[in-house]
A = this chain, B = another copy of it.
């Protein structure tokens, strides 16, 4: 398991997926979870197989270990996470705005972290069963953006220069155009 500055597991739970309509957004949530350093993601049972397959293909091609877990009961996933000693952070525009104090409070506990992101509507139990309801700004925007900013703050930007082991393809950064090399 890789963590740039943390010695703990970080997973994402994506809640409230609407088939078809949220196909791309849920895919983006999964891609961001992986690219920004989470160890895995929980997806609801009704999430399309094509989303799982596309995430698996990215892991296979671009490397790293990233677990994709289907859950039949997101509430159970939350309570189990807490029962196992982890903390649950729900990202919502209605929560307390993210701050260094809040981040330090979370980091100082040295526990595994489950980051929960929903869509436009989330069940009300989530506000009460989460340890923290954190806003990435109190404006409506995007669970994809909220997740990216939260993980970026948690990992202090170091996630962006992480190397993913077992990658088949690696980008060689360019000022112009694209350069991708195959790794043996």
**Number of chain A interface residues as a range:** 35 or more
Complex Cα distance, B78 from A46, in Å, reads 41
Interface residues of A in 95-153 (CB under 8 A from B): 95-98, 124, 127-128, 132-133, 135-142, 144-145, 147-149, 152
Stretch at the interface among A7-15, A29-37, A68-76, A80-88: A29-37
Residues of B near A164 (CB, < 8 A) are 139
Q: What CA separation (Å) do A28 and B140 show in the bound complex?
A: 9
Scan residues 20-62 of chain A and give those whose CB is less than 8 A from a CB of chain B. Answer: 21-25, 28, 31-32, 34-36, 58, 62
Contact sample, A vs B, 7 pairs, CB 8 Å cutoff? A28-B142, A34-B139, A36-B137, A94-B179, A96-B173, A145-B145, A148-B149
